[in-house]
Amino acid sequence: MHVTIAKVHENLFAGDAQSVTLPTVGGEVTILSKHEPMVTTLLPGTVTVRAHDGTHTFDVVGGVLEVSSDQVTVLL
């Protein structure tokens, strides 16, 4: 699945990943390939992306998660 993590004027991560774990208002969520479409709000915490080149972590204070068509978009 393709993952994009971005701030207003900066892309923090863009690439393929095996999973993404995020702190959401409904609790911690792990997104895998072919996940059901969803949109939710992020809480402060850590976003963990498990990509083919290793694990990437991002501290967040909030944001929005959108999952659609094997694409994950996180806007901070």
Euclidean distance between CA atoms 29 and 63, whole angstroms? 14
pLDDT tens for 21-55 read: 999 999 999 999 999 999 999 999 999 999 999 99
Rounded to two decimals, the pTM is 0.94
Q: What mean pLDDT do residues 15-24 have?
A: 98
Domain total in the chain: 1
- For residue 33, the enclosing domain spans 2-75
Token representation of residue 50: 């498990």
Identify the CA nearest to 19 among candidates 45, 62, 44, 54: 54
CATH of the domain at 20: 2.60.15.10
Q: Contact 4/36 with Cβ under 8 angstroms?
A: no
In a 10 Å sphere around its CB, with 0-12 CB exposed, 13-18 middle and 19+ buried, how is residue 29 labelled? middle
